[in-house]
Structures are given as C-alpha cells and as structure tokens.
Structure 1
Amino acid sequence: MSALTIDKVWKEYGDQIVLEDISIEIESRAFVALVGPSGCGKTTFLRMLLGQEPPTRGTILIDGRPLSAEPGPDRGVVFQRYSVFPHLTVLGNVLIGKEMTTARYSARLFGTARKAAIEEARAMIAEVGLTHAEDKYPAQLSGGMQQRLALAQALVMKPKVLLLDEPFGALDPGIRAEIHTLMTRLWHENSMTVVMVTHDMREAFTLATRVVAFERRRDRPEEKLRYGATITRDLPIWPPRQAGRPSLIRPDRDGPVASGH
C-alpha cells in the first residue's frame, strides 16, 4: 500500500508563510498532478513528502505512519535536472542505490548479492528501454535517455511513493510524448503512488488521476508574507483512471500494456 495523508500542514520560513493549512488524502496508487503559479509552494510540498523539509505544523503519514525524519527508500524522486551520477555508467547509476542501501559502509556488494543486484538493475534498465546503452555514461545519452535513466534509478528501489518535480519540462515535445507513454506504463506495472509537479496543464490531465491546484488566495505584495498558498481545486479525472486497469475511453493509451506486447 502507498496511501498518503496530509493533515493541516503549514510551512513557514521565519516570518514568511509558504503553505497554509494543507489537508489532502491521496489514495494508494493514485497519480496526482500538482499545478499552480510559480512560487506557490508546489516544490516545497514535494520536498516535505520526500522528507527533505519538515512541516512547521501538521502531520504527513504514509499508510498511517509518520514520515521518517530524512528521505528513505520508500520514496523515490526524479527532478527536471537529471539527478544521475556523471561518473557512472547506466548500469552503475541504477545499481548504486542497491549498493548504498544494502552495503551502507562499503557501498559495494560482492558475490551472489552483487550478481542478484546486477540482474535486478538490468531488468529495470530493460523496462525503460536502455539495454543497448548499459555501458554508456550520462554525457553520451540524449535528454530523453537521461530521463529514462533517472526513472530507472528511482524505480529500482521499489518506492511506495514516486515524486516527480517537473521531470519532463526540458524535453522536446516528441520525446516528452514517448516519456509520457513510458511513465503511464510504469505506473500501471509498479505498485506505487505518484505525485508530480508540473506547469503543463495538458501533461497533468494526460497522466494524472487527480489534478490539484495550489494558489495564494491573498497575493497582494503586503500579504505575501502573512498568507501562504493552499489547495484551491481538487479535480478528479473523468472517466476515472486506475492503476492496472484500462481506461473506459482510451484503453490502448491509458491502460496497462497487454501481456506479450
């Protein structure tokens, strides 16, 4: 399971209120798109879900339990700027998470444990279509391939929650469409909840099960420090999308890939 509960969360930096009284329930395996104007706190909210930022007030729960005080393997993240290691190959980048969590002090696996981790990494690399580039370094990859690598790096850890911070904004439209198709398939095939920040409304309504808007209700210059952004819209997509089930309208595009294809 991977349900999120955000209850009366505020985020303040000194005298500045960034987020104000955020409450939302996100069901397990939902795909939620966060939209809103720049500077309204969407990325700050994502960082709190990741564990990089603690809420000033309120609680955040995963499956009824409080978040750990720092980022953990139950949450994966993909940023707009590719967060891969430039000195490691594609295989090395996908393998490194397994090595660092399983062998914390040496950051290296040996014997059968390493063989099993390599097999798992290669399976994920194949999932994102990078088998042919396994020995290449990030600088040798296109932007779309680097983003596929970043997804593989996050998903190999089998996170309960995948957090996406404008991950496809820098891609050309054609490449972005390919990554959207890949992201839809990965969401259907992996048991995880996805929360994505985007400025692209078409992207939000193409991928998500819900579109949640953050806005400041009071945005005059003299009010910006005293009032933060909050949730002003929570729009379910119709017809409903569910992980692992085909869409009623576009089963070939919004549903899981059929076995053997």
Structure 2
Amino acid sequence: MSFVTVENVFQSYAGRPILERVSLTVDEGEFVSIVGASGCGKSTFLRLLLAQETPSRGEIRIAGAPPAREPGPERGVVFQRYSVFPHLSVRDNLVAAQAFRARSSGFIFGAAKRAARARAEETLARIGLGHVAGQYPASLSGGMQQRLAIAQALAARPRILLLDEPFGALDPGTRLSMHDFLQELRAETGMTVFMVTHDLSEGFKLGDRVLVFDKPRWDPDDPEAYGATITYDFDARNGGFPFQSLRERDDADPS
C-alpha cells in the first residue's frame, strides 16, 4: 500500500479555485520535488499535506490512517520564511525539536538532555553553525537562520518532511552542503520528502520524482476561473521519463 495517498483533491479560497483534481500516490522514503509557475498552488499543496488546511473536496491519507485535521509530530516543515524559537539559543532550538519529537513539553533533563545537546552540536557542526551554537537566532543572518530552521525540522526526525523553497536564501556553497546534508539524513532515516523549488536542476538532483503543477484549463477572460493540478510526473532517477510506480514496473516486467 502506498504511504501517501492523495485522492481527487480540490482546494479553493472564497470560491476561487486553487487546486483541482489532484491525485497522487507516493511510496515511503521517496523524495518528491514540486515545480511550476508562481500561483499554481504548490505551497497550498504542502499545507494540505501538513494538515494545516483541509481540502475543499477529496482526502489525503498517510500510511492508511484517516485524514488528519491538524499537523502532528510525524510531519516536519520548513517554509520560505524561517521559523525558529527566538528565546532559545541556536543549540537549544535543536534540543527543543528533539524533545517535541519525544512528545514532551519541550523540556528534557539528565542523560536525555546531554545526549540531545551532543546530537545538536554534531548537527550544527555539519551545517556550519557550530561556531554560533550559544547565540540567539536574532544575531544570525537570514541565511543562517534558514539553515537553523532546516536543521530544527530535521532534528525531530519526522516521517514526512515538507520543504517550501528551503534553500532560496542560501549562498551557492552552503546550498550544496545542505543538499548533501539532506540526502545523508534522508538515507539514515528513510523519511519521505516533498520539496517545492523554482530551481528545476535542484528538483531533478534531489528528487526521485519531479511533479509539475500547472493549469491545464485557461480562460483568458478570467485567469482565476480554474485551479492547477499535476500535469507531469517525471522519474528523476530514470532520465526524466514519466514516472511509474513500483507496482506498475512489476506489472510491466515480464520476468
């Protein structure tokens, strides 16, 4: 059974359609990149996956469970605007993320806290923030705060990680190192990733699949009359050919 199932999802705001007829199945551990023109509902789709919003029609199921009505610890997210705890140090932002993963109040003590701090120090060193571990987020540059937000989301080890242009504020060198870090952690945890990006090469580099969101129907007199949907589903591991699920591949293989 597919890990993520999206069945005929529609979403509209105040009667204005944003998404329509979106259906998708994703196996656990897949990395799905999402591209498309601005305003085609890519970020809206991430919010639906997060359960921050409820579809106008259709449903989204994770691991066969009933559709979620609110975000849970199994879903991590990094949006375009970095979001960290301003009253905690850089190190303690990661410690808190690990505490929330354990479903605690955000505070841990004793050996568990020492282990969490050690993991936080290791993570910060890997992403180039070890030298600011004791500082507060307000003292960091925008790019450094975004790196912290990404590391915070990853520290909770979610089953699904949702990324909305997470590397847009980073310089090219840091961006490449974060690519490596994300791929390493994904390999370690087996988590499923959905990432919105405007960089097509980044989408194909990191993703197993690349989804293209667009509006197949267009009214020149009323550009907002129709919503967007998935118009292409490319297999980034197979030269960009149209994607086939593992089951479809098995059915197509005569052996």
Residue 124 (structure 2) aligns with = 125
Q: Could you give the per-residue CA deviations for residues 58-107 of structure 1, whole angstroms, max 9, x where no partner exists?
A: 11111111342111110001122221223321111112234456333xx4
Contact 2:95–2:113 (CA under 8 A) maintained in structure 1: no
Q: Aligned-pair distance for 1:211? A: 0.5
Match in the other structure for 2:159: 160
In the comparison of the two structures, how many residue pairs are matched?
239
Distance, in Å, in 1 between the alignment partners of 2:99 and 2:184 is: 27
User: Structure 1 residues 111 and 171, CA, compared in 2 at 3 Å: closer, same or farther?
Assistant: closer
**Corresponding residue for 1:103?**
104
Q: Deviation per CA, 1:134-156, whole angstroms, max 9, x where unpaired?
A: 21222443444333322221112
Measure how far apart 1:55 and its partner are.
0.8
Post-superposition Cα deviations, 1:13-39, rounded to whole Å, max 9, x if no partner, equal 232111001001111111111111100
Gaps spanning 5+ residues in structure 1: where?
Answer: 241-261
Change (3 A) 1:91 1:28: same
Relative to structure 1, is the Cα distance of residues 47 and 62 closer, same or farther in structure 2, using a 3 angstrom cutoff? same
TM-score (norm 1): 0.82
Q: Within 2, Cα distance between the matches of 1:85 and 1:155?
A: 15
Name stretches of at least 5 consecutive residues in structure 2 with no aligned partner.
240-255
**Letter in structure 2 aligned against 1:91:** R
1:17–1:226 CA contact under 8 A, matched in 2: yes
CA distance change for structure 1 residues 2 and 103 in 2, over 3 Å: closer, same or farther?
farther
Give the match's secondary structure for 1:20: strand
Greater alpha carbon shift after TM alignment, 17-26 vs 172-181? 172-181
Letter in 2 for 1:74: E
Deviation of the 1:183 alpha carbon: 2.0
How far apart are 1:159 and its partner, in Å? 0.3
Matched, 1:169 2:168: yes
- Give the fraction of aligned pairs with identical amino acids, expressed as a percent: 50
| Separation in structure 1 between the aligned mates of residue 114 and residue 2 of structure 2, nearest angstrom | 29
CA RMSD of aligned residues (A): 2.4
Secondary structure at the aligned position of 1:65 is classed as coil
Specify the code of the residue in structure 1 equivalent to 2:211.
V
Aligned letter for 2:198? H
